[in-house]
Structure 1
């Protein structure tokens, strides 16, 4: 996957996840994700996500990470299993011995669902 395609996929996934989660977190989540997308550096997973802006950053970070993991898994199998994708993202996002927050779990699940839906369409 080239950078243009990956970036576009990351943006599409982040926006789709924000739309989905905005029912629980409010419509301002959409704006927060746009701000995070415009910030540009979404390669590092933040340590804590306590406020809505951080949730927007989390969504963008997990979308970017998710697509990178998906591309890696696709080199070995054309249709990576959902659970393997979830597990790899969790391993990258959360330090060993720590547990996921509810928000992190929701974001990972929504990102994986979006990636698998979009990935199967290509």
Structure 2
């Protein structure tokens, strides 16, 4: 089973998911650490849980990244219409069951973020 760990203890992931929701798009960034020798298995399970998420209202997109070389780091970047949509999808029993499929020792560091406008560099 995968273990969820907070990257930012001042904004725990589960507290972020529970609102408040201003109706604006959000991005879930989830950095996984796969146990040694299980990267392909973790990718396959991510694929399974992604099919569940893709079918949920408010899902926009997802992309999985893998660290270069022998890295065991995988990063999921998923965009949602709003926080409530992500919370509803995450809370579904069907999705929660997939979390138990990950190999023991799998760790996820999820955080919900929004684009930031930085003048001269990027737009929100």
- Structure having the higher helix fraction is 1
User: Larger radius of gyration, structure 1 or 2?
Assistant: 2
Q: One fold, TM greater than 0.5?
A: no
Which protein has greater RCO, CA pairs closer than 8 Å, 6+ apart?
2
Normalised by the size of structure 2, how large is the TM-score?
0.31
Normalised by the size of structure 1, how large is the TM-score?
0.31
- Structure having the higher strand fraction is 2
